[in-house]
Structure 1
Amino acid sequence: MQLFSTHKLRNIQAQEQAIKKHAILVVDDEVANRKVITSILQYEFIVLEASNGVEAIELVQKHPNPESISMVISDQRMPHMSGVELLSQLAKIIPKSVRIIVSGYTDVESFIGSINKANIYKFIIKPFERADFLWTIERALENFELQQKHDTHLLSLEYIVAERTKELADKNIELEQAYKKLEDISLTDPLTQLKNRRYLDKHIDAKVGLSLKAFQNWQKDTTNPLPHNEQLTFFMLDLDNFKSVNDTYGHEYGDEVLKSIKPLLETLFRSSDIFIRLGGEEFLIVVRDINQTDAQILAERLRKTIKQYVFVVNSYTNFSITCSIGYVQYPYITEQPNALSWQQVVKLTDKALYLAKNNGRDAWVGLSHLNNNINENEITKLLDPDEILTQNNTINLVSNITLTIK
């Protein structure tokens, strides 16, 4: 015969305790009343007892998990603290609990006031039927469970929404970074890592706008000095006889020469200046805030830097190359800042470069206008690719060499 197992008994008691999942706090100053309510609830729920409001509050505050108290059933008429006053305070400590008042006090107005003050779920009048009382408690706790499920569902949804929002935000950041990377690639010359023509078209308008605005503001008050330092200077550089580098040392080393141009430019110009590879061995540099004298100095430094740089093929072979440079400032006519667009100024820069190459290379040529105005016929002639630039009463040419027409 198997002896009674205390271990099994504890398991059964634990299972029964687990079934009694809701904890209910019963508060009444009369022991008999508490025992009646406890006797109804004890088989389905965990019942906690307190004899007055102060004791009830202390019990809740000391409870290891106050939120596990699903319901508070309190008598209305108790010494020192009424049921409504108690439930009003407990509503702040365990706000999700179901609160019920039990009383023989039947004034309807007091019922409404009590319910509103303490957010009371139900007002049960004594005496009551056991079955009706239990049914009311069970329905109240069903609503409590539904509210818990609803709150849990909302929290779950909020979590899901937060996670999805974060995922979307992360994806947007990834897309923005990928887009920026692709854009950087599309705006950068892959060989030299200099910017390309597309970058120029995309970003030059901002610099042109600043320069143009400065001169337009000056036109409103010509008593102020001309803002020469607000001009943009376009330098066009071409490596002389670059084809011979490819023919002599191979295209691979020719590429290395082109790659070396970027660090050379970075030693001479500011990081705010724009470096563009136009194609082949031709480059464009856009510089802001320099005057004509500064432009000449920069052009000469650029010419010397390229010429003095030694390109090493191997331990016993090296060489140097020269370059030709043309430059023009924008606005071309300071008193007529809108006369020529920046694109037309670049065309003039190309013509100045052509003049430097046609005069023996290893040279720079700067072009500026001598008069304060220019008409349409003069602009057309000036931009005509077949029209050779010459020094005259409207055009000023400066160079490190003596210029002749060829």
Structure 2
Amino acid sequence: MNILLIGGGGREHAIAAAIKKSGGNLYSFMEFRNPGIARISDDILIANNLNELLKWKHVRNGNIDFAIVGPEAPLEAGIVNSLQEIGIACASPSKEAAQIETSKKFMRDLMKKYNIPGYVESHYFSDENDLISFMKDFEKEFAVKPVGLTGGKGVKVQGHHFSTREEGIKYAREVIKAGIGEGKGVLIEEKMEGEEYTLQAFTDGKNLIPMPLVQDFKRAYENDEGPNTGGMGSYSMADHSLPFIDSSALEKSKEILKMIIESMEREGIEYRGTIYGQFMLTKHGPKVIEINARFGDPEAMNVLSIFEGDFLRIIEGMAYGNLSLRYSKFSNLGTVVKYLVPPGYGSNPHGGEEFFVDEEGIRNSGAVFYYGSVDERNGKLYTTHSRTIAIVGIHEDLYEAEKIAENSIRFVKGNLYHRSDIGKRETILKKLKKMEEILKDP
């Protein structure tokens, strides 16, 4: 089975590894040469223009059986639609279906129209004067969300990223004026209190197969400080849940994803591919922060590192609409992902520096690694402006998995940093205690 993979980061390296593990032939398209993906691919195309992909000989001559897209930008650009038009089945959503991620307004409007649980109060603005007028009477603490894509870095929440209402309003006006988030406007949403978590699932538009829950760490620095990033790391538990999630919250989260897919179908939009819900558990139950039309990054590395099913059959099932649970299996192991990133990542990253990886040392320490947004040139590795390499510790015991990941980071040399607190016992106990306080608060 010949699979086309679009994207060249850590998430895509994990997808590539899962494809090869299941026996697929891999044809990879990426902007920079990711050495991990290139090494296991049957052929690669390095380009930054999707039109070049459509001209690639493997795509043009009908050599590809299925395609899967890693990042969100090609989905918004309609690459799935273009591939389907030339007869290539895709295990990723169309441009229309990807609106569930590419337009936060579309997502909130859909949830409100169909009365889907997990909805939070949300108000849309594309005009500064309308925004200012509304905020005169809006007394709740709030979050400011650009409607379009910002790489996970555009949302700002009162009490975390800004202190006063005036600062929040100033940022919301900036979103409108500067066109942050592709110039689609801004959402003012009621601030939520709780703990975030990720539920990813495979779907063919009707059937939904959930993956293990993951909790990621967005803030750039330890103790959840600093600017938002695309994600500095994440962890998952051997029981596929999280310490603060009970069975009721998990089932409600699954139901929300099912209802979103069903509601899209009622709108005449079929959703096929991976979907992931970014939730927050609050004292009022699970609330939806955002819905994404792809695997998470880093969350893909948690779940795909312990995937023991037939990934090719999962891809085929999502693409053809005949997804079967019998091809999905995850080991009962805990995972901890820690990203190493260039200085300034999340605000003003400094890329283009050489770094070194002792791959054998990482493997001998019991860890797995996935190259992120790097560039391999003339046999040397260079950072870009995004995340560099992810180290994954895997063990039945979560805290042993964390130790494996942390111990293996010494085999990466260069001007990089990481959050050492991800997956540590004290970090998770702190989150658990916070959640207990919120849930008991009347």
**Global fold match (TM > 0.5):** no
The two structures have a TM-score, normalised by structure 2, of 0.22
| Bigger Rg, which one | 1
Looking at both structures, which has the greater relative contact order when contacts are Cα pairs under 8 Å and sequence separation is at least 6?
2
The structure with more helix, counted as a fraction of residues: 1
The structure with more strand, counted as a fraction of residues: 2
